[in-house]
């Protein structure tokens, strides 16, 4: 069986890190006798430049036919002043919607060796290991109306959800918790928003189906505090799209290893999209110094979630840990000891460790 992988390098360091992941996947194919077939398509700024749209139809079609999608990153100053529909982010939002990628999974786990780079005190961050499950295709991001009114004097955006949309992400979160420490924190603003009240009701309804999982409800403002003061209290966090955007980025800097964090965006039955939690980092693009590990670990998530290749995924994760434990690090990790390496060197080390 051949697994067809669409690669969307995108902008900035996107291409550098995605080809690193490809190398690692090729090493996996060799070692475990698997067959991966890669094709490359445009998204984001580069797609605007080449095709006049951040999401060419051809890209969507290719993704729909693929078994999984790897995405580098989109965006950069070049397109920052474009009109809305010609912005790189539109490509990202568009592909999420087109593939119905409703569940964004973002694990945040520190590497022992790198915790010194955490902005938090060691005693606070030590031992933290959480997973944010963010709803990705609803809420303020896609609700209508979203428009100016009265000659531009007023403006509205709409936070809309259907019961079904909430149910499926809540189910996914409970299931994710069952595979981990069996604790779910549902985050909402039920003291203000109607949508949050429905969200909370659905979590309460669903929890009887997952009696092995303990559930707590935390308000989004309280959660933003608790992530900093008590990060080890969390296991799985589930929340709606905009809250998830903010909280997952907040959580991503806690361990000090943003360049190490993967993510998966999953559909109900269909293709999954895997991308690093970091952005396109235009400031260091083209220098060959980007940390490829977040992208490589995203490829590992792809093996696990889309291809059910657990052993292969584990082999990548283990290789990454080993290389870090040997003291190798890229520039972003700001290590004082050990050996500084560039993107290619880090990739080669990981490939060799596999």
Ligand X SMILES: CC(C)[C@H](C(=O)O)[C@@H](O)C(=O)O
Q: Does 322 bind ligand X (CB under 6 A)?
A: no
CA distance 124 to 126: 6
Q: What torsion do the CA atoms of 17, 106, 4, 29 make, to the nearest 10 degrees?
A: 70
CA distance 81 to 59: 24
Q: Does 336 bind a second copy (CB under 8 A)?
A: no
For residue 3, what are the β-bridge partners? 36
67 classed as catalytic: no
Backbone angles phi, psi at 227, to 5 degrees: -60, -35
Q: Does 68 bind a second copy (CB under 8 A)?
A: no
141 classed as catalytic: yes
| Least Cβ distance, residue 51 to a second copy (angstroms) | 20
Report the partner that residue 147 touches, choosing among ligand X, a second copy, none (CB closer than 5 to 8 A by kind): a second copy
Half-sphere exposure in the Cβ direction for 228 (13 Å, CA): 8
Query: Binding marks (x or -) toward a second copy, 100..139, rule CB under 8 A?
Result: ------------------xxxx--x---------------
189 classed as catalytic: yes
Q: Does 89 bind ligand X (CB under 6 A)?
A: yes
For residue 253, count other CB atoms closer than 10 A to its CB: 16
- Please give the radius of gyration of the chain, using alpha carbons only, rounded to the nearest integer: 20
Task: Classify 135 as helix, strand or coil.
Answer: strand
Report the partner that residue 47 touches, choosing among a second copy, ligand X, none (CB closer than 5 to 8 A by kind): none
Q: For the packed helices 293-305 and 310-325, what is the interaxial angle rounded to 10 degrees?
A: 160
334 belongs to an annotated ligand binding site: no
Distance of CA 14 to the CA centre of its chain: 14
Of 16, 4, 12, nearest in space to 46 by CA = 12
- Return the H-helix or E-strand segment holding 19: helix 14-32
Q: Which one of 39, 57, 158, 209 is in contact with a second copy (CB under 8 A)?
A: 158
- Of 210-229, binders to a second copy (CB under 8 A) are 220-222, 224-225, 227-229
* Catalytic choice (19, 42, 102, 141): 141
CA distance 107 to 49: 33
H-helix segments, 189-329: 194-206, 220-229, 241-252, 293-305, 310-325
305 classed as catalytic: no
Given a contact cutoff of 8 angstroms between Cβ atoms, the answer to whether 228 and 254 are in contact is yes
233 classed as catalytic: no
Nearer to ligand X, 249 or 345 (CB): 249
Q: Does 221 bind ligand X (CB under 6 A)?
A: yes
Report the partner that residue 246 touches, choosing among ligand X, a second copy, none (CB closer than 5 to 8 A by kind): a second copy
Q: In this structure, what DSSP letter does residue 92 have?
A: H
Nearer to a second copy, 13 or 27 (CB): 13
* Catalytic choice (221, 318, 334, 352): 221
What are the tokens at 336?
A: 């004082």
Nearer to ligand X, 280 or 330 (CB): 280
Report the partner that residue 337 touches, choosing among ligand X, a second copy, none (CB closer than 5 to 8 A by kind): none
Half-sphere exposure in the Cβ direction for 238 (13 Å, CA): 27
Q: Does 250 bind ligand X (CB under 6 A)?
A: no
| Least Cβ distance, residue 258 to ligand X (angstroms) | 12
| Least Cβ distance, residue 186 to ligand X (angstroms) | 17
Which residues contact a second copy (rule: CB under 8 A)? 84, 87, 89, 93, 118-121, 124, 140-141, 143, 146-148, 152-164, 189, 191-195, 197-198, 220-222, 224-225, 227-229, 242-243, 245-250, 252-254, 258
- From the annotation, which residues make up the binding site? 76-89, 96, 106, 134, 221, 245, 249, 279-291
Which residues contact ligand X (rule: CB under 6 A)? 89, 92-93, 191-192, 221, 245
- From the annotation, which residues make up the binding site for substrate? 96, 106, 134, 221
Catalytic residues: 141, 189, 221, 245, 249
């Amino acid at each position: 069986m051949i697994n067809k992988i669409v690669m969307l390098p995108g902008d900035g360091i996107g291409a550098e890190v995605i080809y690193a992941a490809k190398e690692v996947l090729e090493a996996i194919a060799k070692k475990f006798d698997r067959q991966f077939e890669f094709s490359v398509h445009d998204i984001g700024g580069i797609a605007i430049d080449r095709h006049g749209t951040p999401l060419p139809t051809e890209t969507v079609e290719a993704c729909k036919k693929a078994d999984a999608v790897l995405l580098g990153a989109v965006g950069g100053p070049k397109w920052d002043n474009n009109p809305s529909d010609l912005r790189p982010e539109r490509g990202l939002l568009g592909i999420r919607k087109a593939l119905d990628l409703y569940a964004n999974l973002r694990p945040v786990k520190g590497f022992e060796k790198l915790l010194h780079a955490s902005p938090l005190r060691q005693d606070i961050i030590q031992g933290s290991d959480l997973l944010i499950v963010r709803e990705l295709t609803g809420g303020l991001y896609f609700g209508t109306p979203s428009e100016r009114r009265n000659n531009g004097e007023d403006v509205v955006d709409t936070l809309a959800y259907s019961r079904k949309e909430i149910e499926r992400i809540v189910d996914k979160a409970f299931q994710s918790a069952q595979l981990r420490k069996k604790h779910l924190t549902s985050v909402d603003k039920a003291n203000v928003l109607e949508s949050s009240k429905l969200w909370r009701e659905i979590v309460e309804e669903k929890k009887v189906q997952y009696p092995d999982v303990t559930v707590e409800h935390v308000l989004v403002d309280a959660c933003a505090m608790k992530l900093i003061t008590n990060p080890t209290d969390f296991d799985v966090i589930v929340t709606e799209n905009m809250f998830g955007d903010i909280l997952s980025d907040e959580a991503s800097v806690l361990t000090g290893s943003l360049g190490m964090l993967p993510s998966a965006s999953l559909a109900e039955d269909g293709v999954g999209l895997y991308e690093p939690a970091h952005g396109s980092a235009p400031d260091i693009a083209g220098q060959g110094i980007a940390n490829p590990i977040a992208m490589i670990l995203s490829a590992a998530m792809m093996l696990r979630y889309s291809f059910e290749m657990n052993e292969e995924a584990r082999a990548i994760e283990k290789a990454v840990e080993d290389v870090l434990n040997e003291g190798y690090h890229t520039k972003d990790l700001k290590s004082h000891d050990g050996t500084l390496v560039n993107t290619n060197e880090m990739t080669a080390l990981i490939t060799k460790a596999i």
